[in-house]
């Protein structure tokens, strides 16, 4: 089995195995993006289009933005990512429409084996991450490899998400777990400006 197939199946692969992925790294463009003034909206949007695999309409990502590659990240329309967003995108990260991510969040598709004998040559595994439409991640959330977060879910600040989260729930903690459903009663909690 070749390296590409091992990566696709979530099996272990080494740094040498991953060499063929290096063309997807966007380090210089990320550096340029992080040095572009916040008010230069058109320039920043153009740069995001060159850094990320795909970008929907009206993206806003505050600097600094960090990514392992950048090219494996796909964001939908009306995305908001606050400062210190870190995307470890050795494989795909798919983010839907209307997603909001608070400061200092990490989405990592890649992990390492627990046993030290298996960690030679940076041995690792990677599994895709999916954030469905209208997800909101609170500050300092970490999303681990292979996780899907369902439509409209809210992840509480400081959570570590190691398992899938169903749609329309508030989930939080270490490890993150659903604590309640989101319902129409939540429409009365905070009213939009009139």
Annotated active-site positions, please? 112
Q: Are 126 and 146 a contacting pair, CB within 8 Å?
A: no
Angle, to 10 degrees, between the axis of helix 27-34 and the axis of helix 41-51? 160
The answer for residues whose C-beta is within 8 angstroms of residue 57's C-beta and 6 or more apart is 77, 78
* Burial annotation 65-86 (CB, 10 A radius, 16+ → b, else e): bebbbbbbbbbbebbbbbebbb
Cβ atoms of residues 43 and 49 within 8 Å? no
Say whether 160 sits in a helix, a strand or coil. strand
């Amino acid at each position: 089995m070749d390296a590409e197939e091992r990566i696709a199946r979530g099996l272990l692969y080494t740094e040498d195995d991953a060499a063929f992925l290096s063309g997807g790294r966007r380090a210089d463009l990320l550096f340029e993006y992080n040095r572009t003034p916040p008010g230069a909206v058109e320039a920043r949007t153009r740069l995001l289009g060159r850094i990320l695999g795909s970008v929907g309409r009206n993206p806003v990502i505050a600097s600094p933005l960090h990514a392992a590659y950048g090219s494996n990240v796909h964001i939908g329309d009306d995305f908001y990512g606050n400062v210190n967003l870190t995307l470890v995108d050795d494989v795909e990260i798919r983010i839907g429409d209307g997603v909001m991510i608070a400061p200092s969040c990490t989405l990592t598709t890649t992990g390492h084996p627990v046993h030290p004998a298996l960690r030679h040559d940076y041995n690792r595994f990677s599994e895709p991450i999916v954030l469905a439409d209208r997800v909101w991640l609170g500050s300092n959330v970490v999303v681990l490899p292979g996780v899907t977060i369902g439509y409209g879910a809210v992840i509480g600040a400081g959570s570590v998400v190691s398992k899938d989260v169903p749609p329309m729930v508030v989930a939080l903690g270490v490890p993150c777990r659903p604590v309640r459903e989101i319902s129409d009663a939540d429409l009365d909690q905070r009213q939009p400006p009139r």
